[in-house]
Amino acid sequence: MEGQQCDHVELGKTYQLALYDKTGFSCAGACFAVERALLALSFTLAMHEVSGFESPLFVDTPIARALGENRANFAQILAQVSKGKQLILTFTPDELRDHKKSFKMAEQYANGGGCTCSRAR
């Protein structure tokens, strides 16, 4: 997390994730939306791995929550994941128009992995 460092994550009995800083205080409210999206992606991938369940992974509007360098980093992570798992990514027409550069960057990363990028109509 930017500004405030998350020290650890706890998984409750009902599979609710809790984030804590080094002093033991909850820091979930200090997370950016893109950080929550990455945490959700990490949790989903971990559940797939421990369960042995293999299925495609659907990510709706992945770049909408990321800005600047975080957008490029998120695209790289998705490209890395796509090398071992099929990804289905959706983009709204507005995202494609507003984030054309990021889409091209994500498409370049995806071409190296198991991801096919196509435009929604």
Domain that holds residue 60: 53-121
Residue 99 resides in a domain: yes
pTM passes above 0.75: no
pLDDT recorded at residue 103: 55
Residue 13 resides in a domain: no
What pLDDT digit, counting tens, does each position of 8-25 carry?
889 899 988 888 988 988
Instruction: Give the residue ranges of the chain where pLDDT is below 50.
Output: 1-2
Number of domains present in the structure of the chain? 1
Residues 8, 56: Cα–Cα separation, whole Å: 28
Nearest to 79 by CA among 102, 101, 108: 108
Residue 7 resides in a domain: no
Tokens of 45: 């991938």
Residues 114, 85: Cα–Cα separation, whole Å: 7
Residue 2 resides in a domain: no
Residue 119 resides in a domain: yes
pLDDT recorded at residue 2: 47
